[in-house]
Structure formats: structure tokens, C-alpha cells
Amino acid sequence: MVNSQKRKYKIKKKRSLLKSRLFWSALLTIVGLTLTADLILFSPFLQINEISVSGNERIPATEIQNSIWPEVEKSFPFGLKSRSILLADPPSIKTRLLEKFPLIDGLSVKRLLPKSLVVEIGERKTVSLWCWEINCFALDKNGVIFEAASEGQAGLVIKSKQPKNEISIGKKVMEEKILEQILFIQQTMSQKAKIEAKEFTLFENDQRLNAKTNEGWEVFFDLKGDVNWPLVELELVLEKELPQEKRGSLEYIDLRFNKVYYK
């Protein structure tokens, strides 16, 4: 006779979720992250309420501020918006301002906790007008054109006879070295040769430069070479061969070669 044996099973009680250490750790983490996000995004203590602008002379501060506000205001689901200073992106704001305002030369954007942005601006200064055909623009020290202008607005005009490329505000149209040469020539002619030149014409490949004097005649330079000695030659030829009384019919002085030519 086979004895039947009853197997005994022990029923294990399920542990309450509320007593789970992992559950409470996860819950506390979620709550902590939620509170942190709420603090970062929506705390009134961190909402930008002031944009300070300095260094601007010609660009109104309100235009700068109005361009920044859309950059600092962030939208979230359910129609929520935030201007939290912790979300402000100074590099992005800087890029936006430089794109919109070609007149800006230097720029810094800084966060000033808890509620302010500080914007410091350096504006471009006109050193000359740059003209191509009938269009003239203000030119800065870096060879960048930054606004339209009329020919009578500056003491120095540089006319370009170079092939036409795309002309747009904020574009670099001249190398700094060439501009420095032109400014040096103008200054030296005035101080050493006692001749004023307000209009310069720059030809193809930045090689030939014509300087038109206030007496009506021109001086031809080769910018690929050293301009110091040609300026000395100009001073000497004006002093020894072409004094004031002999320049009435003078058309040009050519300094591009080893010998000085004039007509």
C-alpha cells in the first residue's frame, strides 16, 4: 500500500510597495528633479526683468533690448513660459545681435544673477567711405562696410574699380593692410609733401592706387611694393621740379617705377 504524502506549500506574502527602499528612492529622486526644474524654470527669483545696455552711441538701447527678449523667453507645454536667467544663452544672443546690427564691432553678453543681463557694445567707426560705381558705404578699420552713405559724408573716399562681387552690409571689402597703406599715404602726403588727397581709386588686384589731390592732379602708386620711398620721391619732385607755380597744367605724377614720371 502506497502511502500518500501531502505536500505542504508555504505562501509567501507580497512585500508592500510602500516598504520598498527602491520605491522611495525613485520617488524622492523624481520629486527632487521636479522641484529643481521648477526652481530653474519658473522661480520668480530667477526671472530676467532687466537688460542693461552700455557702449551704444547710435543704436538705441531699446532696439537691442527688443532683439534680446525673444531670445530669453522660452515656451513649454500647457502654455507655460519662462525667462529664467539660468536658461539664457549669451553666445546665442551675441550671434543674433551681430547678425542684426552690422554697426556693432565688439560685443559681450553676461548674466548678472539673479535677474539681469548685461550687454556691452562697441560700435564701428568710419575711417573712410568705400564706393563702387554710384553706391557708397561707411568703411571701418577692418575693411568692413557697415552702412550706406553719401560721398560727401567723409573726409576720405576710396573708389573701387575692382570686378563687382556681391556687395552687402557687413561684408569685408578690403584687407586691413591695403587700408593702412592708403591711410599712411594720405597722412604722409599731407605732412611731408604738403598736398591734400581726399579721394583714392583702387584698381584690380589691389595693386594700383591713384590719389587725387586737392589741386586736381593725381599720383599713381604701386601697392605691391614699398610706398615709403615713392613718397620721398614725391616730396623731392614737388620741391625741386614742380613747385606750386608750375602745377597749373599738371595731370599726374607716376611713382610706380624706378624713375618718376609726370605730365
Q: Collect all residues with Cβ–Cβ distance below 8 Å to 84 and sequence separation of at least 6.
A: 40, 41, 42, 43, 46, 47, 48, 74
Whether residue 184 is found in the same domain as residue 68: no
Q: What is the pLDDT at residue 150?
A: 85
Residue where a domain stops, chosen among 101, 123, 145: 123
Number of domains in the chain: 2
Q: Taking phi first (over 0 means left), then psi (-120 to 50 degrees means alpha), and beta for anything else, what does residue 79 get?
A: left
**b/e code 15-30 from CB counts within 10 Å (16+ = b):** eeeeeeeeeeeeeeee
Q: Check pLDDT > 70 for residue 16.
A: no
Q: What is the pLDDT at residue 167?
A: 84
155-178 confidence digits (pLDDT tens)? 899 999 877 677 889 999 999 999
3-state secondary structure of 54: strand
Q: Collect all residues with Cβ–Cβ distance below 8 Å to 5 and sequence separation of at least 6.
A: none
Q: Which of 165, 161, 128 is nearest to 146 (CA)?
A: 128
144-158 confidence digits (pLDDT tens)? 999 999 877 678 999
Whether residue 112 is found in the same domain as residue 147: no
Domain of residue 52, residue span:
25-123
Whether residue 156 is found in the same domain as residue 232: yes
Q: Which of 128, 117, 134, 129 is nearest to 64 (CA)?
A: 117
Residue where a domain stops, chosen among 73, 104, 123: 123
The pTM of the whole model exceeds 0.75: yes
176-201 confidence digits (pLDDT tens)? 999 999 999 999 999 999 999 999 99
Whether residue 215 is found in the same domain as residue 232: yes
CB 261 within 8 A of CB 253: yes
Does 249 map to a domain?
A: yes
The rounded Cα 104 to chain-centroid distance in angstroms is 6
Which 8-state DSSP code applies to residue 13? P
- CATH classification of the domain holding 255: 3.40.50.11690
205-227 confidence digits (pLDDT tens)? 778 999 999 999 999 999 998 99
The residues with which 137 forms a beta bridge, in sequence order, are 130, 148
